[in-house]
């Protein structure tokens, strides 16, 4: 009676505290439900460069982008070399300018020398010249707000105005295919702003931190944001005003309700570290959304693979701003790359609309509240009850010991969550990712041991309920723990992935010996097992387990096993069939092992089958809970992925059982003597 009461108490406490931690789930899913809109941003500068190379008017490119669903254009600040490339100015180094003018136009050089006076000008400093009054005014204004008056040396002849910028320049264009050239940032070109708005498109600003010596340029942004109704900022190199004058940008973000685009790294392991960005995000309460830039795809050879990566970025990784530059396939002409880019954007938009994402609307500002200490205490208590339930089932401790653990755990939970400012959310998520796969494996073994008389179909059904149900509780706990916007946007990253991969496997070994060999010492059982002469069936199972283990290790972040072309194609098919593609560790390893393991144990009654097959089942369980640890993936997507995994994995599992039955038939028919001796 006491044992039954203890089980009831632990299960009741676990479920009660999970219910009481619902506020974390509510916060997380509420943010995600409001984050279903998607925008695609085309890079103006790169598009215009490709258009110029292909001899296509930029107006035509903008029209085609708009026809394919693009409503936002990313605009970077222009520079001296950008103006020179457009034919607006002549640009030299001072060394080039002085040597040429002294040799060919001594009168002009005399004017330049008079303007320079006693100042020392470095040979590397830049000199710009223009005969256009509008460009002259633009240069005077933009250079004047970025450099001190004494650093701008002006003079003119009858036809041109000259600017010697007596300050160090830097290399702005760091593309590998472009020779390094010194350049200077000038701010946003009003002609480009007007052209974008004339096409009915929205401007996404790409501010840069000026390398100049004056901070007056910071005041330029407000008029642009106001006059052009800007809603998004994506910082290019540094936040403007870094390091000591970030208040201007922070104030601008808050007053105009701007959204900051946070760019995902090429490795997809966080966001691009941008000086000043953390400070601005914290001050402005994280008005952010995630950005995927297509330049991360430049290594991809196929247009179809690029498209698939975009789809996966949105569905799997929670990207809501796709930032697109033209493809750069060196086998194709610039015009062909431009055509492929625009067509792929159109196809991508059709797919995203079909998957339920909202296109053509602006992104919302998302809730930035964090979880409360009381909520975190509820999470801690649910994990305490889950952990003690696991220990009770594993070691069959006396109730007195468990009561002591409950009391100590409650006191520590209160101290850690209610009386300190420490946020242990990541630790709780890691604990859930370890405890629940381990608990599900233990409950599965206990069920099969205690219900050998159940028919195969009932064993299979109960096994699926145990594995899926318990691991969904783990996924729920992870979601409720990592609930605030910083986790969703990958600003704060779940850590401990390796531990969550391998500890449940080690604990399953303990589960097995506790369930089937619990009356003897573990060391004695292991030694006797190693001395036993294995049957052909056991050798076969070991071979399969070794292959599965190799695949598991290779696909768990160690880059041992690469993704085959066949798997990529299968992924694409699954991506199109399901809202979220199921994970291969579940549909190839976990569920097939579960169903075939139940069949083999039901058929042959050998406990060791569950040891080998059970390790593969744990791989699937870990993968399922780990899906919810990818916090940037929406909880609904992770749940859909898990359910798709159950469906596909179960079908494959029954296919494996049919294959085993076929092998059994062959063995009985053609190898009866060997088969009957097993």
Last residue of a domain, one of 116, 143, 171: 171
> Confidence class of residue 550 from pLDDT cuts 50, 70 and 90?
low
Does the residue 348 lie in any domain?
Answer: yes
Output the six-digit token pair for 106. Answer: 């001594």
Q: Residue 561: its pLDDT value, please? A: 47
Q: Among 171, 200, 228, where does a domain finish?
A: 171
Q: Is residue 543 part of a domain?
A: yes
Q: What is the pLDDT of residue 222?
A: 94
Instruction: Identify whether 177 is part of a domain.
Output: no
How many other β-carbons are positioned within 10 Å of the β-carbon of residue 332?
14
Choose the weakest-confidence range: 23-27, 369-373, 471-475.
Answer: 369-373
Same domain for 70 and 21: no
Residue 365 included in any domain? no
Strands 232-233 and 202-206: parallel
Q: What is the domain count for the chain?
A: 3
Query: Is the model's pLDDT at 572 over the cut of 70?
Result: no
257 in a domain, yes or no?
yes
Evaluate if residue 591 carries a pLDDT over 50.
yes
Q: Look at 609 and 194; give whichever has higher pLDDT.
A: 194
Is 161 in the same domain as 299?
no
239 and 329, same domain (yes or no): yes
Do residues 126 and 232 both lie within one domain? no
Decide: 185 and 172 in contact? Cβ < 8 Å. yes
Q: Is 547's pLDDT higher than 80?
A: no
Q: Are residues 111 and 157 in the same domain?
A: yes
CA–CA separation, 628 and 476 (whole Å): 8
Residues 344, 228 share a domain: yes
> Which residues, 6+ apart, have CB-to-CB distance to 225 below 8 Å?
205, 252, 256, 258
Does one domain contain both 73 and 89? no
Please check whether residues 69 and 197 belong to one and the same domain. yes
Across 164-178, 398-412, 428-442, 647-661, least confident range? 164-178
Report residue 73 as tokens: 């254009």
Mean residue pLDDT of the chain comes to 88
Instruction: Provide, rounded to the nearest whole percent, the portion of the chain with pLDDT above 70.
Output: 89
Listed residues 141, 171, 201: the one ending a domain: 171
Q: What distance in Å separates the CA atoms of residue 648 and residue 574, rounded to the nearest whole number?
A: 10
Q: How far is it, in rounded angstroms, from Cα 451 to Cα 466?
A: 14
User: Residue 401 is part of which domain span?
Assistant: 2-30+371-676
Residues ≥6 apart with Cβ < 8 Å to 304: 572
Distance CA 3, CA 397 (A): 10
Is the predicted pLDDT of residue 558 greater than 70, yes or no?
Answer: no
Residues 485 and 582 in one domain: yes
> Which tens digit of pLDDT belongs to each residue from 595-608?
999 999 998 888 88
Residue 69 in this model has a pLDDT that exceeds 90: yes
What's the predicted TM-score (pTM) here?
0.86
The CATH number of residue 67's host domain is 3.20.20.80
Shared domain for 375 and 497, answered yes or no, is yes
Whether residue 366 is contained in a domain is answered as no
Instruction: Identify whether residues 415 and 346 lie together within a single domain.
Output: no
Distance CA 202, CA 228 (A): 8
Question: Are residues 516 and 651 located together in one domain of the fold?
Answer: yes
Per-residue burial over 442-457, b = 16 or more CB atoms within 10 Å of its CB, e = otherwise: bbbbbbbeeeeebeee
Please check whether residue 643 is in contact with residue 472, taking contact to mean a CB–CB distance below 8 angstroms: no
Tokens, residue 217: 């340029």
Q: Are 304 and 283 in contact (CB under 8 A)?
A: no
Residue 183 in domain: no
């Amino acid at each position: 009676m006491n044992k039954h009461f203890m089980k009831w108490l632990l299960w009741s406490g676990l479920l009660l505290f999970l219910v009481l931690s619902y506020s974390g789930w509510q916060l997380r899913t509420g943010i995600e439900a409001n984050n279903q809109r998607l925008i695609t941003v085309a890079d103006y500068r790169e598009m215009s460069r490709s258009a110029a190379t292909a001899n296509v008017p930029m107006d035509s490119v903008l029209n085609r982008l708009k026809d394919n669903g693009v409503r936002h254009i990313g605009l970077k600040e222009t520079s001296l070399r950008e103006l020179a490339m457009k034919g607006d100015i002549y640009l030299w180094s001072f060394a080039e300018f002085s040597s040429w003018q002294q040799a060919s136009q001594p009168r002009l050089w005399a004017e330049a020398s008079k303007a320079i006076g006693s100042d020392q000008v470095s040979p590397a400093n830049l000199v710009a010249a223009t005969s256009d009054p509008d460009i002259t005014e633009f240069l005077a204004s933009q250079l004047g707000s970025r450099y001190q008056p004494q650093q701008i040396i002006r003079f003119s002849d009858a036809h041109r105005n000259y600017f010697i910028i007596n300050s160090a320049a830097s290399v702005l264009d760091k593309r590998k295919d472009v020779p390094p050239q010194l350049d200077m940032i000038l701010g946003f070109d009003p002609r480009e702003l007007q052209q974008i708005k004339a096409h009915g498109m929205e401007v996404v600003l790409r501010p840069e931190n000026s390398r100049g010596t004056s901070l007056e340029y910071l005041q330029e942004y407000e008029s642009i944001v106001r006059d052009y109704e800007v809603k998004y900022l994506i910082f290019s190199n540094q936040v403007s005003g870094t390091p000591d004058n970030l208040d201007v940008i922070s104030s601008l973000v808050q007053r105009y309700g701007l959204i900051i685009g946070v760019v995902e790294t090429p490795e997809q392991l966080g966001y691009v570290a941008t000086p000043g960005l953390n400070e601005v995000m914290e001050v402005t309460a994280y008005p952010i959304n995630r950005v995927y830039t297509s330049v991360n795809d430049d290594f991809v050879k196929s247009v179809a693979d690029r498209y698939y990566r975009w789809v996966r970025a949105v569905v799997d990784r929670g990207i809501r701003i796709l930032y697109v530059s033209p493809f750069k396939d060196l086998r194709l002409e610039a015009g062909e790359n431009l055509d492929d880019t625009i067509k792929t954007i159109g196809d991508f938009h059709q797919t995203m609309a079909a998957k339920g994402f909202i296109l053509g609307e602006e992104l919302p500002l998302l809730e930035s509240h964090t979880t409360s200490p009381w909520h975190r205490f509820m999470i801690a208590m649910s994990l305490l009850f889950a952990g003690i339930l696991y220990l009770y089932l594993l070691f069959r401790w006396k109730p007195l010991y468990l009561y002591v653990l409950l009391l100590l755990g409650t006191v520590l939970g209160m101290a850690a969550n209610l009386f300190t400012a420490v946020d242990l959310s990541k630790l709780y998520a890691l604990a859930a990712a370890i405890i629940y796969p381990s608990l599900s494996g233990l409950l599965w073994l206990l069920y099969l041991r205690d219900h050998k008389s159940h028919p195969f179909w009932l064993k299979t059904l109960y096994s699926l309920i145990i594995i899926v149900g318990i691991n969904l509780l783990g996924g729920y706990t992870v979601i409720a723990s990592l609930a605030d916007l910083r986790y969703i946007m990958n600003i704060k990253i779940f850590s401990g992935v390796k531990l969550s991969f391998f500890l449940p496997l080690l604990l399953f070994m303990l589960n097995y010996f506790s369930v089937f060999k619990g009356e003897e010492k573990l060391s004695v059982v292991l030694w006797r097992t190693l001395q036993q002469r294995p049957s052909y069936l056991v050798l076969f199972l070991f071979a399969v387990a070794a292959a599965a283990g190799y695949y598991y290790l290779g696909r768990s972040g160690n880059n041992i096993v690469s993704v085959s072309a066949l798997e990529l194609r299968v992924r694409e098919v699954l991506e199109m069939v399901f809202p979220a593609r199921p994970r291969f560790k579940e549909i190839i390893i976990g569920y097939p092992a579960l169903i075939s393991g139940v069949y083999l144990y039901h058929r042959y009654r050998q406990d060791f089958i569950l040891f080998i097959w059970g390790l593969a089942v744990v791989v699937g369980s870990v993968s399922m809970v780990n899906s919810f640890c990818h916090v940037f993936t929406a909880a609904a997507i992770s749940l859909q992925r898990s359910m798709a995994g159950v469906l596909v994995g179960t079908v494959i599992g029954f296919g494996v059982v049919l294959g085993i039955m076929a092998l059994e038939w062959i063995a009985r028919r053609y190898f009866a003597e060997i088969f009957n001796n097993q």
